[in-house]
Structure 1
Amino acid sequence: MSKKLIKSGLIVSVMTLISRVLGLIRDVVIANVMGTGVMADVFIFANKIPNFFRRLFAEGAFSQAFVPVLSEYRVKDEQQAEQHEGKNNHEQTRLLIAQVSGTLGVIITGVTLFGMLASPLFVMLFGFGWFVDWFNDAPGGERYTLASNLLSITFPYLWFISFAALSGAVLNTMGRFAVAAFTPVLLNVAIISMAIFGAPYTETPAHALAWGVFLGGLIQFLFQIPFLYKAGMLVKPKWAWHSEGVRKIRKLIIPALFGVSVTQINLLLDTLIASFLITGSISWLYYADRLLEFPLGLFGIGIATVVLPSLAKLHSKNNPAEFSATLDWGIRVISLFGWPALAGLMVLAQPIIMVLFMRGEFSQNDVMQVSMALFAYLTGLLSFMFIKILAPGYYARQDTKTPVKIGIKAMVANMIFNLMLAPFLGYVGLALATSLSATLNAWLLYRGLKAAGVYELSAKTMLFIGKLVLSAGVMALVVYQLSSDFDVWLQMSFLDKVKQLSLCIISGVASYLLMIVLLGIRFNDFTIDKGEK
């Protein structure tokens, strides 16, 4: 089981790595074209709103509710085929997919049309500071008008990505992880292409990027259709609001809509408050968040993607021992990558930001501002990763009520932290508040699983994490000694920066690997022991 998970995790991580690298290239292009000024703030805002709803209707709450039910139906089909000694034709699974896709299609079409028509309302709600400037005819009011226009272009992305996510969930449940993991690459290619080739033909560079988001969603949607057909899961959608499978998903998804999207709601609250802060605040938070998302997406989401279907299947087969062991395995794997990522980004934040973004409209001051936000976000990196593993421990058991209660507590805490920190630390306070609320979220998720007797950190994993923390600390010291002061980095040519940064990263990775070997960490530490306590 563990070998299969490791193989699947590696496939997802490699595909995610390609996507994240292209995502960084996309952000480099955006930084070069627009920097952190008005247009950058507005485009990032217009891209964030449909992505928030994507978390609700696509990868987030929907997938968390859909995958366990789909796994249950697949197990039923397998059992029925075994009983009748016949071929598994996936009748119940195909019917469920048809019913879910038809029902989701009607709902998501309505939401998308409303979003396009009501884009000024969304901008008023989540960018209220811009609306106030526009209403009072004050300087900066043009941001409200531009954001409303761009949002009407980017909102259809929600429709495309919702069906791409449904297709990806089906393929993931069947063990075909590569397709869904590769799909985000196409979005980045579309945005980069429009930024480079489409900007001369649009009103502003921000409009070109907005159309890139639209086209990226369309391409992702079309890309997965042949793979669904090949898997025998391309079915005709049908409306089935009252069918057994859809009712079960509805029951699971309603609380999950809030619970699994707490982080996204927190980010939107940050955006709302940031709209009242100085120009550039939204962009600084965005670039810091993008750097945080690189290790989080590569390792946290990569492992979580393969863990959820496995946990759902184990729950359907009533195998609590291996269920707990699989969660423990997930914590060990993301810890292996999470701690060095945290240490490396802490020490090399400013050089990395310089190499990636400091050109064109992106200034030295922007490097400093983004690095401060990144430091604040990094305090919660491991918490964000642990949430990706612990939350599926609830959703795989079709328990969405507990995470929603925890989510409410975390969101309220985030609002309190925002009000406490933003007046003194500005946008950095918003980033720190997000990290603090994520840490609370992760701790409450773990405490709930432990109290329910579902999962408790094993002694093996606690010792394992201790060794990783020590190894990451040694790595940080090595990299710190090899790195230069901020002023020295500024004086370097771009090529010298790349060489120096590469030396630091390679030396850091080598020292980390050497330390974990010296401390006795071996491949056996990544097997799933059903008898772990």
Structure 2
Amino acid sequence: MAKEKSVGLLRSGMVVGIMTMLSRVLGMVRDVMVAALLGAGGTSDAFFVAFRIPNLMRRLFAEGAFNQAFVPVLSEYATRDNHRETRDLLNAVAGSLAIVLAIVTALGMLFSSQLVYIFAPGFREHPDQFLLTTQLLEVMFPYLLLISLAAYAGSILNSWGRFSIPALTPIFLNVTMIIAVKVAPLFPEPAKVLSWGVLAAGFVQLGFQLPFIAKLRLLPLPKPNFRHPGVKRILKLMGPALFGVSVAQINLMINTMLASMLTAGSVTWLYYSDRMTELPLGVFGVAIGTVILPALSRRHASQDRDHFARMLDWGIRMVLLVSVPAAVAIFLITQPLLITLFKYGRITVHDVEMTAQCLRVMSVGIVAFMLIKVLAPGFYARQNTRMPVKIGMIAMASNMVFNLLLYKHLAHVGLATSTMLSACLNAGMLGWALYREKVLVFQPGWWRFMLRLGSGCALMGAGLVLFTPERQQWLEWSIYERASVMTLEITVAMVGYVVWLFLTGMRLRDFRMQG
């Protein structure tokens, strides 16, 4: 078992990244189609608020706290090579998780109107919008149960080194939603059709992964057992992890609450700027975070501190290698990028401008968002949830303070700024805590690495500034002209950046790391 899992992290990360890229591209197609269908106004705000609520809880229960608590415990059981004990743990966790999720889902559906009051207080002034949001939430809330169980299945596959299947699974949400968008105009209330599409996607994503778990002879038979030692440990780790790993999502939901009290469309502008920053974050940040957590957990279980430190250093370098140029590029070509992707259907030039203001600010935080995906596992792999909780609470409190200071004067841009600042604070404190505990030990070659990275980004940025056409030109072009020029610009920028790194001595072998 241990030998089977000792895989190259770079290769695993690339596999997850490629699969996630496919998902994110389809997700972008989905968002473009939804934008053209709903525009940016009361209806789109209602849909995105209703969609955010179960997704926030999904990230808290599944991809966030649960995953960070479950994977280290499962890795310990798997390291023992005792199949029976591992199966007993999986059965107990599946049953216990299903019961908790079923109760939360039932309560969410029952009190959906109260949830809308809490998460979108500004909608109270618009009864039709409030009612629509409540109706959409009632349909979409069971998605929490399905997607959380799908995330549980993905955690099992990731722990056994089967990274590609969980990374591929989100594609089915996007495909199902795209189908729903195509069908929606046939009905009087398109937003409701989209909500049923979200629910259907939950069934598909869960069902897709089950055969692969069965092939490993690990398909759980749910048997609720909250007294199982492994379940107790997971629950103990989960409580603090709810804050530590999900601060960014909580901050975004706080922003959504405040945005609901601003001009109609503010929720939508924030949503689309968030989605744009999620593209590099999801493709690479999540990929590295996904493969590094089980690997770090195994190194901690085997008490290999040196390899643990090298692996953490490797993860930070990999994240910086992608996040810094991504942040520079998105900041410099914000409006052309948004025009190319979203200026269709009911989306106006004003919507593009408002979203661009948010996106420029959010792009600055891409590095911090991605670093958190690598730094947080440095604690959770060691089953240390106390420190991320303290840091997460400080970051969340700072976000609230920044919101109060900024949103009245800068509106939705102030909300984006507060999210960016709190993410930078979160990442900085996580890194400092790991360094202070001597868990993060910087390996040789950092000055040379940063010089290559900085010069490569400077050259790429200069090229984008010099050769990007003016905004009016993008508005006048057809969709094909926009897409072709944008694709060419991004491709040339990426190739130029990689070539510069190669010319300055960076090689692929420098980033190989054994898990």
Residues in 1 aligned to 2:394 and 2:325: alpha-carbon distance in whole angstroms: 30
CA contact (8 A) 1:172 1:306 kept: yes
User: What's the CA shift for 1:198?
Assistant: 4.1
Partner residue of 1:382?
Answer: 367
Matches within 5 A, 1:487-506: 487-506=472-491
Q: 1:512 aligns with which of 487, 497, 500?
A: 497
Residues in 1 aligned to 2:444 and 2:266: alpha-carbon distance in whole angstroms: 43
CA contact (8 A) 1:418 1:433 kept: yes
| Residue 107 (structure 2) pairs with residue 114 (structure 1) | yes
| Residue 352 (structure 2) pairs with residue 367 (structure 1) | yes
User: What's the CA shift for 1:462?
Assistant: 4.5
Q: 1:2 to 1:513 in 2, by over 3 A?
A: farther
TM-score between both structures, scaled by the size of structure 1: 0.94
User: What's the CA shift for 1:124?
Assistant: 0.3
TM-score between both structures, scaled by the size of structure 2: 0.97
| Residue 319 (structure 2) pairs with residue 355 (structure 1) | no
AA aligned opposite 1:195: V
Residues in 1 aligned to 2:323 and 2:162: alpha-carbon distance in whole angstroms: 25
Partner residue of 2:162?
Answer: 176
Partner residue of 1:128?
Answer: 121
CA contact (8 A) 2:335 2:471 kept: yes
SS state of the match for residue 60, structure 1? helix
Matches within 5 A, 1:237-276: 237-276=222-261
Partner residue of 1:185?
Answer: 171
SS state of the match for residue 258, structure 2? helix
Residues in 1 aligned to 2:453 and 2:100: alpha-carbon distance in whole angstroms: 46
Residues in 1 aligned to 2:7 and 2:35: alpha-carbon distance in whole angstroms: 41
AA aligned opposite 1:130: F
CA contact (8 A) 1:46 1:147 kept: yes
SS state of the match for residue 112, structure 1? helix
Residues in 1 aligned to 2:388 and 2:85: alpha-carbon distance in whole angstroms: 29
User: What's the CA shift for 1:222?
Assistant: 1.1
AA aligned opposite 2:503: L
AA aligned opposite 1:197: V
Q: 2:16 aligns with which of 9, 12, 15?
A: 12
User: What's the CA shift for 1:205?
Assistant: 1.0
Residues in 1 aligned to 2:451 and 2:199: alpha-carbon distance in whole angstroms: 45
SS state of the match for residue 58, structure 1? helix
SS state of the match for residue 227, structure 2? coil
Q: Deviations over 1:73-123 (max 9, x none)?
A: 00112xx6xxxxxxxxx1111110000001111111000000011100100
Q: 2:70 aligns with which of 66, 71, 78?
A: 66
Residues in 1 aligned to 2:416 and 2:447: alpha-carbon distance in whole angstroms: 28
Select between 53-62 and 450-459 the one with higher mean Cα deviation: 450-459
Q: 2:310 aligns with which of 298, 313, 325?
A: 325
Partner residue of 1:84?
Answer: none
Q: Which runs of 5+ in 2 are unaligned?
A: none
SS state of the match for residue 382, structure 1? helix
Residues in 1 aligned to 2:251 and 2:65: alpha-carbon distance in whole angstroms: 16
Q: 2:197 aligns with which of 200, 203, 212?
A: 212
Partner residue of 2:301?
Answer: 316
AA aligned opposite 1:329: W
Residues in 2 aligned to 1:251 and 1:64: alpha-carbon distance in whole angstroms: 12
CA contact (8 A) 1:255 1:404 kept: yes
Q: Deviations over 1:368-419 (max 9, x none)?
A: 1111110010111000000000000000000111100000000000001111
SS state of the match for residue 161, structure 2? coil
RMSD over equivalenced CA pairs, Å: 1.5
Select between 479-488 and 423-432 the one with higher mean Cα deviation: 479-488
Select between 354-363 and 481-490 the one with higher mean Cα deviation: 481-490
| Residue 478 (structure 2) pairs with residue 485 (structure 1) | no
Aligned-pair identity in percent equals: 42
SS state of the match for residue 278, structure 1? coil
